[in-house]
């Protein structure tokens, strides 16, 4: 099976970069990167030291519902190019492990699908999950803070 890692959609990101409200209706906070592992969820690269970035609440689900987790993410404050949709593990994945979890077509967690996965095994785990008929897509989240990283879908 071929999969694709998917960054945040450019239209959503541009709205936030131009001062649009986050998931809580707030203007994103602006910070200066110290270069210490601040991953942009649009280009899927770390934000370089000295660059301005945004901190905001993000909900990667279309509707409010009990499983629609909202949490903090980072974005470049200036326009950046969206990461290509590819089966290659994004370069921003530098932690030793991540949470990988499946969701169904109604955007609900598929119980038993989630786990903390060694970074080098994320692609294989996502492929296994996406072979299941009850899983529509997969999220990759921080294993330490549960922050949303990206989505994985069937190609």
The per-residue pLDDT for 6 is 98
The whole-chain average pLDDT of the chain stands at: 97
The per-residue pLDDT for 71 is 96
Rounded percentage of the chain residues whose pLDDT exceeds 90: 97
CA distance 50 to 44: 18
Collapse the DSSP code of 144 into the 3-class scheme (helix H, G, I; strand E, B; otherwise coil) and give the result: coil
Instruction: Give the CA angle between residues 56, 109, 142 to the nearest 5°.
Output: 45
More confident residue, 125 or 91: 125
b/e per residue 37-58 (b: at least 16 CB within 10 A):
ebbbbbbbbbbeeebebbebeb
Sheet holding 52-58, edge to edge: 29-32, 52-58, 71-76
Per residue in 68-96, pLDDT tens? 999 999 999 999 999 999 999 998 999 99
Per-residue pLDDT band for 32 (boundaries 50, 70, 90) equals very high
b/e per residue 91-116 (b: at least 16 CB within 10 A):
ebbeeebbbbbbbbeeeeebeebbee
The per-residue pLDDT for 1 is 81
Give 133's contacts (C-beta < 8 A, 6+ positions apart). Answer: none
Residue with structure tokens 């602006």? 30
């Amino acid at each position: 099976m071929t999969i694709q890692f998917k960054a945040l959609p450019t239209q959503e990101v541009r709205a936030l970069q131009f001062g649009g409200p986050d998931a809580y209706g707030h203007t994103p906070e602006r910070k200066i990167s110290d270069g210490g592992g601040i991953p942009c969820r649009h280009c899927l690269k770390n934000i370089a030291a000295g660059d301005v970035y945004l901190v905001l609440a993000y909900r990667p689900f279309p509707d409010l519902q009990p499983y629609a987790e909202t949490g903090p993410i980072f974005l470049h404050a200036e326009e950046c190019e969206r990461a290509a949709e590819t089966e290659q593990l994004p370069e921003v994945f530098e932690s030793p492990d991540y949470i990988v979890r499946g969701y169904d077509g109604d955007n609900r967690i598929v119980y038993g699908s989630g786990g903390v996965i060694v970074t080098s095994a994320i692609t294989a785990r996502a492929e296994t999950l996406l072979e299941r008929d009850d899983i529509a897509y997969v999220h990759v989240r921080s294993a330490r803070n549960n922050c949303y990283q990206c989505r994985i879908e069937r190609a």
